[in-house]
Structure 1
Amino acid sequence: MSHLRATAARGLRRSGGRGALRRKGASPRGAAPAPAPAPPPSRHLFSDPAEIEALRGHLLAWYDKCKRDLPWRTLAATELDADRRAYAVWVSEIMLQQTQVATVIDYYNRWMQKWPTLQALAQASLEEVNELWAGLGYYSRGKRLQEAARKVVSELAGQMPRTAEDLQKLLPGVGRYTAGAIASISYGQATGVVDGNVIRVLCRMRCIGADSSSPAVVERLWDMANALVDRSRPGDFNQALMELGATVCVPKAPLCGECPLKQHCQAQRRVEKELAFASQKLFGKRAPVSDVEDCGLLAGLWEFPSLPLAQGLQEEKQREVLADHLQAWTGRPVAAGGLRFIGEVVHIFSHIHQTYVVYSLSLDGDVTLDPALSPSRWVTEEEFHASAVSTAMKKVLKAHEKQRGEESSPGKGSKRKRGAKLQGANSTCPGTQLSLRAFLRAPKSP
């Protein structure tokens, strides 16, 4: 699939340049403070009870057949004492932080053989703990685990907290994810979990392209995980979701053909649509394909003024289309010749590669944004970084700042060849798709 989207960016000054942002999917407003983010489109959510029930069944059936045989899973399934069961799960979750499963197995077996209960661990010395932990890395994990075990023994009468809320509140070193994992696997509490694997699976299934590290998106993913978790088998469901991300829905080259949830996956449908589009192009046919960025959970996020462009559009025509768009947006004349090409920024989401073609535009005087035309506002660079913006928009601004730095450095040319790629750290492909505009202006004169 090929899309272009143009972005206009205007010169910023380090001391207080201001830029125009607009909210994706927001209702019109003026320069008032930004309202709470609007709910995402339904396609980014699981709202059909029948689909949720089917998804649970497909995932659990796959897990029962394909799950890996891991020692902590065996203990969780066979241990009858709730406290010992929770302890066994807890140790595994702490060890698995920042460490691969294959490495953890031997350490876990040795640990549980030496300290099979909370009471046994509480009586051990820190030197013993560090000695067994040697080679596993991040030694503070073992230290916090023992400290928490001692607290359970001395302050909680040896009984582990029974809910995710209490586990997180009462045990040092236990965060939201670990608490959810212990509570669902050990006690059957119907609470979801969100870790890196789960984030990837959920984002692909609902075609969420926004920055998955932003607090707003993470909170939405927690809501989604809590809505999806199977009420009768919450622990197995959560482990299945994590297992899927670890073995099938992997970061690179996911095994989509083997995925039990492919019929529920919006990203898979997107890929099929792109393949159909590419096939049609071979025969000279063009079918409309919606904007890739609209596949992201971008409602409520801010973006630079942007415009999708037809594939193959020449630069001169791009400038004309962009100038017309900006003229309508600002309510003042914008000459195509005043747009300056910055470069192309590649952003990757799942299977989709987007290209943002970035232009700059300098404006003289004050420009008042009409809220009736677009829900926009001016922001400083500091306000930009504090706003809810996608990773792609951060890359666009970085491209502009890079050129500005080159222009201010003696001995470096200011011209950039058309088509030069300004790729992010995780960009690997030079594909051509979307482009946007950073529309920025200098501060008012004192």
Structure 2
Amino acid sequence: MSTLVEAPQPLDAEYFRIRLLAWFDQYGRTHLPWQQDRSPYRVWVSEIMLQQTQVATVIGYFERFMQRFPDVEALAAAEQDEVLHLWTGLGYYARARNLHRAAQCVVHEHGGRFPVESVEALSALPGIGRSTAGAIIAQATDERAPILDGNVKRVLTRLHGVTGWPGRPEVERRLWALAEHYTPHWRCADFTQAMMDMGATLCTRRRPSCLLCPFEADCVAHARGEEQRFPESRPKKEKPVRQTIMLMLCDADGRVLLEQRPSSGLWGGLWGLPQFDDQKALEAWLLDEEPGSEVEGQWQCFTHVFTHFRLEITPVRAHLHRRGDDGALAGRRWYDPDQPDSIGLAAPVKALLESLSSSTLL
């Protein structure tokens, strides 16, 4: 485990800002969709989508989301199912649920206006932390608000040789102090975007473009030839493995039975296939819930990786020799893979349904 050592003193703030903004004016990204017609709502949606997700992936999702929900009122009035449907494939679905909840808070508690007067007020909304609040305020209002997302952490840890995993409180405090030191009172939107662009396009995780960096001569990690050391990784912990069986029960019309997941927890609020711990539990459930069903076989097991564990999924196909009851219990529905509905689906479930749609067994 690394020992936390005092990093070199910060660079002169004015020197840092001038060099960074000069680089941004020449090479920075200024044509991203959320940079056009900039508003707190559009910036907020983009910032939530960009958490744990690359810009290239987000662009299409953002444009589709804005087309369907052009303002916070439209998003607040939507059904959660539709929000999750438009989020399908982006992962980390708690972001979408929090986005929907926050929109309702903005409409019902703030009269449709985002509370961008302070980081504290904005971060009181679901799903908005200190750094995200800072990014929204800086980019939507051009007011001063430091940020510390993954890109900025990488730039600052390399520039100053800050050791230790950034998730450790003492390391995070050091990085926030640096972010505060460098953040100016002018051109705040450009400075914030420039910091993120530096990490995303130059100071990348692998193979950083140090020779093109405006701080090549100042960077501690580069001087030591230790760019890949920073930021230091979270102490490794073996991911536990869990197993589940997913039931693909098709009725006489080729429709598949889906269940809605609980609103919180794994795949919260999404629609998925019924899940079981073992084959015996699956067969008992079929006997109770859908008598007359017949198990046809097991598909190849595959693994879906989450942040904290690995899920081994075994798909089992079964057939119901009649049309499924459309008046089924609440929280269930029969889904036609050939005519997909606008509902939120977990990524592995979506993939299985697409396989069923093209299956000659239907």
Q: TM-score range, shorter-chain basis?
A: 0.5 to 0.7
Partner of 2:52: 98
Shift of residue 211 of structure 1?
2.5
Q: How many Å separate the matches in 1 of 2:4 and 2:204?
A: 29
Count of aligned pairs between the two proteins: 234
**Equivalences for residues 312-327 of structure 1 within 5 A:** none
User: Which sits farther off after the overlay, 155-164 or 134-143?
Assistant: 134-143
Partner of 2:104: 150
Residues 106 and 113 of structure 2 are in contact (CA less than 8 Å); yes or no, is this contact kept in structure 1? yes
Shift of residue 188 of structure 1?
2.2
CA spacing shift, 1:131–1:54, aligned 2, 3 Å: same
Does residue 34 of structure 2 align to residue 72 of structure 1? yes
**Equivalences for residues 19-58 of structure 1 within 5 A:** 40=6, 43=8, 45-46=9-10, 51-58=12-19
Residues 164 and 182 of structure 1 are in contact (CA less than 8 Å); yes or no, is this contact kept in structure 2? no
Partner of 1:113: 67
Shift of residue 190 of structure 1?
1.3
**Equivalences for residues 195-344 of structure 1 within 5 A:** 195-271=149-225
Amino acid at match of 2:16: L
CA spacing shift, 1:24–1:200, aligned 2, 3 Å: closer
Partner of 2:77: 123
Shift of residue 134 of structure 1?
1.8
Partner of 1:240: helix, strand, or coil? Answer: helix
Partner of 1:75: helix, strand, or coil? Answer: coil
Partner of 1:380: none
**Equivalences for residues 324-403 of structure 1 within 5 A:** 350-351=227-228
CA spacing shift, 1:153–1:24, aligned 2, 3 Å: closer
Q: How many Å separate the matches in 2 of 1:175 and 1:24?
A: 25
Q: How many Å separate the matches in 2 of 1:139 and 1:227?
A: 34
- Scaled by the length of structure 1, the TM-score of the pair is 0.49
Show CA shifts across 1:282-333 (max 9, x none). Answer: xxxxxxxxxxxxxxxxxxxxxxxxxxxxxxxxxxxxxxxxxxxxxxxxxxxx
| Structure 1: runs of 5 or more not aligned | 1-6, 8-22, 26-39, 77-84, 272-348, 354-389, 396-446
Does residue 115 of structure 2 align to residue 161 of structure 1? yes
Residues 144 and 183 of structure 2 are in contact (CA less than 8 Å); yes or no, is this contact kept in structure 1? yes
Amino acid at match of 2:145: T
Q: How many Å separate the matches in 1 of 2:169 and 2:4?
A: 17
Show CA shifts across 1:158-209 (max 9, x none). Answer: 111122111012x111111111111111122312111111111101111122
Residues 50 and 58 of structure 2 are in contact (CA less than 8 Å); yes or no, is this contact kept in structure 1? yes
Q: How many Å separate the matches in 1 of 2:4 and 2:194?
A: 34
Q: How many Å separate the matches in 1 of 2:195 and 2:170?
A: 21
Amino acid at match of 1:222: W
- Scaled by the length of structure 2, the TM-score of the pair is 0.60
Give the CA RMSD over aligned residues: 2.7
CA spacing shift, 1:222–1:153, aligned 2, 3 Å: same
Does residue 15 of structure 2 align to residue 61 of structure 1? no
Amino acid at match of 1:167: L
RCO greater where, 1 or 2, for CA within 8 Å and sep 6 or more? 1
Shift of residue 143 of structure 1?
1.7
Show CA shifts across 1:372-413 (max 9, x none). Answer: xxxxxxxxxxxxxxxxxx989x79xxxxxxxxxxxxxxxxxx
Q: How many Å separate the matches in 2 of 1:391 and 1:63?
A: 28
Show CA shifts across 1:252-291 (max 9, x none). Answer: 22110011222332222334xxxxxxxxxxxxxxxxxxxx
- Flag as ranges the 4+ runs of structure 1 deviating above 4 A: none
Q: How many Å separate the matches in 1 of 2:19 and 2:89?
A: 38
| Structure 2: runs of 5 or more not aligned | 237-362
Shift of residue 99 of structure 1?
1.7
Amino acid at match of 2:131: Y
Shift of residue 230 of structure 1?
2.0
Amino acid at match of 1:166: A
Does residue 103 of structure 2 align to residue 141 of structure 1? no
Residues 86 and 182 of structure 1 are in contact (CA less than 8 Å); yes or no, is this contact kept in structure 2? yes
Amino acid at match of 2:22: A
Partner of 1:262: helix, strand, or coil? Answer: coil
Shift of residue 351 of structure 1?
4.7
CA spacing shift, 1:193–1:115, aligned 2, 3 Å: same
Partner of 1:159: helix, strand, or coil? Answer: coil
Show CA shifts across 1:121-144 (max 9, x none). Answer: 111111221221222222221121
Q: How many Å separate the matches in 2 of 1:75 and 1:240?
A: 19
Q: How many Å separate the matches in 2 of 1:24 and 1:105?
A: 38
Shift of residue 117 of structure 1?
0.9
